[in-house]
Amino acid sequence: MNYLITIIGPTAIGKTALSITLAKHFGCDIISCDSRQFYKEMKIGTAVPNAEELAAAAHHFIQNKSIFESYSVGDFEQEALSKLDELFAKNNVQIMVGGSGLYVDAVLKGFDEFPEIEPSVRATINQQFEVSGIDYLQEQLQQLDSEYYQKLTFENPQTLQNPQRMKRFVEVCLGSGKPYSSFIGKRKNNRNFIPIVIGLEADRDVMYNRINQRVHIMLKEGLLEEAQTLYPNKQLNALQTVGYRELFDYFDGTTTLDFAVEQIKMNTRRFAKRQITWFKRVENVKWFNYIADKEGVINLIETFVK
């Protein structure tokens, strides 16, 4: 039987350090599922493991793509599962680590299958969105799939303000002639491994202090200069990321550098809160304090692996 040790938790909580300790103990590789560490142009601002950490264990899906490439969570799911098949042939225990909840879910559970939609439908939606904004998308979803609209209203209201997600919902409704919700939960995604999910957590004040410290470290390592080189391509989807957006505003002349840095800290703290909310919904997580004895984590895992 294969086992995929999956380490989750908010940013700056210590997932990388734990993953390396476990990889050394079990003699296995590490699959990264941080959706921004994929991009080779974004090293400092995404807290890519340093050279010493990368040398301590074999890592996959770190700086393997360019910001100019189109890369979706579905692409990652397929590539990660293929890589895991290859790795499990050598060792029945492997590790996955990262703070991108959607990407974790993609590997552990997979996604529902949706129909192919004619490109003309997407083009029409984009045109209407340019004219009427998010209100158009909300009205369309409410009309075409009131059940799903109500579900989002009560369970995940911020999604109603996300243009990319909303466009996709409306696109499926219009292109298929069926509600988006009618495609959810229909597909069975079989996996050839048993997941062992380890969550790291900390008190809020501790977590916020670690985030603030990380921002200062990034700045010392050259985040400002890295963002400056990426600034000409600021419209790319990959760069719509905390740590870069705020500095782009500074380069635009709309904020001061001090204000931009404080915004990075604040937005990273908000991001960490969203991560926690997402991961708390994951089933069967074994939660540990971020300074927990790593031997205790190893002992727990070995009770499952044996």
Nearest-angstrom CA–CA distance, 59 and 23: 10
User: What pLDDT does 107 receive?
Assistant: 95
Q: Given 2.60.40.10, 3.40.50.300, 3.90.1150.10, 3.20.20.70, which CATH number is that of 3-111+189-305?
A: 3.40.50.300
Burial class of residue 133, CB neighbours in 10 A (0-12, 13-18, 19+):
exposed
Prediction pTM value = 0.80
Q: Is the pLDDT of residue 175 over 80?
A: yes
User: What pLDDT does 70 receive?
Assistant: 85
State the fold for domain 119-183. Histone, subunit A (1.10.20)
Binding-site residues from annotation for ATP: 9-16
Residues 6 or more apart whose Cβ sits within 8 Å of residue 64? 38, 40
Binding-site residues from annotation: 9-16
**pLDDT tens-place string over residues 108-153:** 988 777 888 888 999 999 999 999 999 999 999 999 999 999 999 9
Nearest-angstrom CA–CA distance, 2 and 305: 9
**pLDDT tens-place string over residues 198-248:** 999 999 999 999 999 999 999 999 999 999 999 999 999 899 999 999 999
Binding-site residues from annotation for substrate: 11-16
Q: Is the pLDDT of residue 32 over 90?
A: yes
What's the Cα-to-Cα distance from 257 to each of 80, 142, 212, 261, rounded to whole Å?
38, 41, 16, 6
User: What pLDDT does 170 receive?
Assistant: 97
The full 3-state SS of 166-211, as one line of letters, equals HHHHHHHHHHHCCCHHHHCCCCCCCCCCEEEEEEEECCHHHHHHHH
Query: Could you tell me the residue ranges of all domains in the chain?
Result: 3-111+189-305, 119-183
Q: Which of 237, 245, 291, 281 is nearest to 266 (CA)?
A: 245
Q: How many CB atoms lie within 10 A of CB 134?
A: 14
Element (H, E) at 119: helix 119-132
